Amino acid sequence: MHEPDTIDIAILKTLQNEGRISNAALAERVGLSASACSRRLDILEKSGVIKGYHARLSHKALNYRMIAIVHISLSGQFAKTLTEFEAAVKRCPNVLVCYLMSGEYDYILRVAARDLEDYERIHRDWLSALPHVVKINSSFALREIIDRPNVGMG
């Protein structure tokens, strides 16, 4: 695993805020030549520090106005059970995030829906059909306060 130094951290901070910045502008911002900056980016990408480059879409603008936080309990935590559930949940297009948890529930999901009727469809056609599910508990977000795409550095 590549351990980022202060220049790498400067590159990462800049990319988090300006993902479309050109290599030349990035190099200038962090005090490197364009070729040295490009080499560092290549190392950060190949080592997995940078996982990809994405457009951050507005769910509201795309008419997904409801976010549900869904707690799921499975019939057990056997390797086969977890593997089958995880493979199936990855196919659900409305699931934005899925975490394997410790504690009362086995998984927590963040699910986007257009409205309550759409969530009912997602619950019926997708969530209830996931393998090994014995309990689903859904809560609905009233207002988003923070949605950070990345962890703060420095």
Domain ranges of the chain: 6-46, 66-140
Spell out the per-residue pLDDT of the chain, length 154, in tens.
678 899 999 999 999 889 999 999 999 999 999 999 999 999 999 999 999 988 888 888 999 999 999 999 999 999 999 999 999 999 999 999 999 999 999 999 999 999 999 999 999 999 999 999 999 999 999 999 998 877 776 5
User: Of 13, 37, 12, which is closest to residue 24 (Cα–Cα)?
Assistant: 37
Q: Looking at the domain that runs over 6-46, which CATH code has it been given?
A: 1.10.10.10
Spatial neighbors of 84 by CB under 8 A, at least 6 apart, are 131, 132
| Fold for the domain defined by 66-140 | Alpha-Beta Plaits (3.30.70)
Q: How far is CA 91 from CA 78, 94, 125, in A?
A: 21, 9, 12
